[in-house]
Amino acid sequence: MFFPKAMTELELIVPAKDLLAVTRILSRYGVFHQTDSASYTGVATGSANTWQETASQYAALERRIQVILQTLSLDEGEPPAADSRHDAMIEVDKLREEVERIEEQVKSASERLNSEKKHLEQLESVLHQLEPVEDLEIDIATLRNSRYTYSMLGLIPAANIDRLQTSLARVPNVFLTLRSDSAKPVVWLAGPQSNADVLNRAAKSAYLDPLALPEGYEGTPAKIIDSLHKSIEQAKQKIEELQHTLTNFANEHGEELRDLLYQVHTSRVLSDAIVRYGQLKHTYVITGWVPVDDLPELSTRLKNASREILIETLPTSRYGHNQHVPVALFNNKYLKPFQMLVNTYSRPRYGELDPTLLMAITFPVLYGAMFGDLGQGLVLFVLGLLMHNKIFMKGMQSLGLLIAYCGFSAAVFGVLYGSVFGFEGEHFSHTFGFEFHPVWISPIEDTLPVLGIAIDVGIVLLVVGYLLAIFNQVRSREWAHLVFGHTGIVGFLLYLSFLGLLGMAVAALKLPIVPKIAVAISSLPLPFPVLALVFGLAIMFSEVLINLMEGHRPVIEAHGIGGFIMYLVQAFMDLFETLISQLSNTLSFVRVGAFAVAHGGVSMAIFALAGEEPGFKFWLTILLGNIFIIGFEGLIVGIQTMRLNYYEFLGKFFTGGGMRFDPLTITPAKEEG
């Protein structure tokens, strides 16, 4: 739970005759992360080209089936469970025959349907163009078939008529307004056929929209429109018939197509896997990773599939650098939202502490502390459960549990703060007739103590972060960084010295906000100024000390006096940045108390708007105010909680950058978190 699953490297030598049987076993259970075996000594590459061509053929067939399903408006459906009946590799020629048989029928009907739809669009477009001139008594054929005259009938913006007439002043033409309209009148432009190009350019520059006169239609616009209506009805009837034909195809071949798709997909996945195998003379080499817990069962199944298989396992230590090892996380449905948050930041490296469980504690607690209200928290809790169960806002199902956890935490802190839908103290007793006192503290009445407690919480989390960073560096065998790194032992001791100095400053200046942990550390009989100076110098020259400990040469890159001075300036700025970072990280947690106080302040503002006497206006204002707080402030608090967890807490000890465990499987593996 605290670490990714232990992995072991697996190498298999498989006889050629058992190749498909072994591949089916590896792909069936989703526990084998395949790696390329081309680097294996003595492997051949000729077979890979053959299987690559086969895989390409399966991929092409898969795309063709998907196109057919899309044409028939069918979904791909849920694939059957991978077992001995559903993970066989079918010959590509046999599958192609089945696909082409159905494809030919569907394609023919689909092409005719598309053709009819285009024909219908053309007819409707012509009808739309002719409707404005329906009442004109003009024979369209005389306009279209004139041997000596070029004519154009269409719509033109009224403001462009003068411009068109001006541009054609020196060109013989006839320009008539057939129907007046304030926006786009219907006009007719005619001239000699020899001037057709000039007339056409002038019409385009004036944005004259010519009517596309249809072929095969003669007579007046009214007569053509009547014929168009009949043609449109016939086209719609044909479209309906073809759609009905496709619906019948879908009902008849739907399940067959889905089954074919899964067979082709399975064959393609198996072929892609074999492409990555290495080939010896009569055997194949398969390499990859398997979780240690799944290895015994997988080995047994592989031996049952091939009696002559050779299995070699290479266990991998969790210590040291193992970035090439895939990271398989534990899937716990109740921790899934926090695993999602961690993976959004970065995937843990193999052997590194998985902070999911820690995030499951810190995220809801910090959120609840900033948004403490019993009523509003319960609303978020119920809302989160509804989202998680796809009853409300189905698109945000992945955030449902996270919102529910945060809402429950906010409700608990609401009891501690004595707040229900913003009602506190006098407001509560005045409205409901009985008192509801804080079990612990009221952020509004005890503002400064709340801010001090928030800083103490931040100090605890940062100390835990430093200790976890030291723990991770021990596991990764980074000894130099463990001692002299910014998050190593020296960095941690510098932070403790910094807290001692902070406590001394708080006591000397009698500041109103008192972080009790810092004051307690400062009371220890230790020379904190001297310790801060020593550890500060160690951080300042940490690069030199790390290089010395690791045996790197040169220890420091500095050319001459100028280069050495620049190094000192850079080292000092590094120390300054570290101290500023420690101060800002500590004070960042003030926002936990500040948001708790602000939450109560916003509620007070809403009550000021609502008035003192309960009535319709009072309760409407309270309702709208609570909706605003739950929606807007709830989102802001969530963002601040994420920031504190990511940058102040995880940033201290969590490196990430691990490789995702991507097991070979017929059906796509679900991402953790």
Residue 132 lies in a domain: no
Enclosing domain of residue 322: 1-38+280-345+667-673
Residue 312 lies in a domain: yes
Distance CA 479, CA 541 (A): 16
Q: Which pLDDT score is estimated for 319? A: 83
Judge if 489 and 427 occupy the same domain: no
> Where is the domain boundary, 563, 588, 613?
588
Nearest to 189 by CA among 225, 164, 223, 217: 164
Contact 213, 140 (CB under 8 A): yes
Judge if 448 and 581 occupy the same domain: yes
Nearest to 439 by CA among 372, 378, 381, 376: 372
Q: Is residue 93 left, alpha or beta, with left meaning phi > 0 and alpha meaning psi from -120 to 50?
A: alpha
Judge if 434 and 517 occupy the same domain: no
Domains of the chain: total: 5
Residue 290 lies in a domain: yes
Contact 306, 15 (CB under 8 A): yes
Q: Which pLDDT score is estimated for 70? A: 92
Judge if 644 and 537 occupy the same domain: no
**What's CA 445's distance to the chain center, in Å?**
42
Judge if 110 and 204 occupy the same domain: no
Cα dihedral 603→605→609→612 (10° resolution): 70
Judge if 483 and 569 occupy the same domain: yes
Residue 659 lies in a domain: no
> Where is the domain boundary, 260, 276, 292?
276
Distance CA 103, CA 502 (A): 77
Q: Which pLDDT score is estimated for 484? A: 95
Contact 144, 232 (CB under 8 A): no
Judge if 550 and 460 occupy the same domain: yes
Distance CA 98, CA 253 (A): 11
Distance CA 480, CA 486 (A): 11
Judge if 286 and 382 occupy the same domain: no
Judge if 64 and 110 occupy the same domain: yes
Residue 130 lies in a domain: no
Judge if 336 and 463 occupy the same domain: no
Q: What is the pLDDT of residues 259-315, one digit of tens each?
A: 999 999 999 999 999 998 988 878 899 999 999 999 999 999 999 999 999 999 998
Q: What is the 3-state secondary structure (H, E, C) of 354-415?
A: CCHHHHHHHHHHHHHHHCCCHHHHHHHHHHHHHHHCCCCCHHHHHHHHHHHHHHHHHHHHHH
Rg (CA), the chain: 38
Contact 603, 414 (CB under 8 A): no
Per-residue DSSP letter, 421: T
For residue 85, what is the domain's CATH number?
Answer: 1.20.1460.20
Q: Which pLDDT score is estimated for 614? A: 83
pLDDT averaged over consecutive 10-residue blocks of the chain (673 residues)?
A: 89 93 92 83 61 91 93 84 65 90 91 92 79 72 70 85 88 83 81 88 88 70 85 93 92 91 91 89 91 95 94 87 87 90 92 93 97 96 95 90 97 95 81 84 94 96 96 91 95 96 93 92 95 96 90 68 82 93 95 94 90 87 95 95 95 91 79 48
Neighbour-count burial of 169, counting CB atoms closer than 10 A to its CB (0-12 exposed, 13-18 middle, 19+ buried)? exposed
Distance CA 500, CA 521 (A): 5
- Which residues 6+ apart lie within 8 Å of 9 measured at CB? 287, 288, 289, 313, 314, 315, 316
For residue 337, what is the domain's CATH number?
Answer: 3.30.70.240
- Helix then strand then coil, in percent of the chain rounded to 5, is 65, 10, 30
CA atoms 499, 504, 509, 512: torsion sign: positive
Cα dihedral 452→455→460→466 (10° resolution): -150
Q: What is the pLDDT of residues 468-477, one digit of tens each?
A: 999 999 988 8
Residue 128 lies in a domain: no
Residue 131 lies in a domain: no
Q: Which pLDDT score is estimated for 85? A: 54
Judge if 104 and 241 occupy the same domain: yes
- Which residues 6+ apart lie within 8 Å of 645 measured at CB? 341, 359, 362, 363, 366
Judge if 82 and 164 occupy the same domain: no
Residue 255 lies in a domain: yes
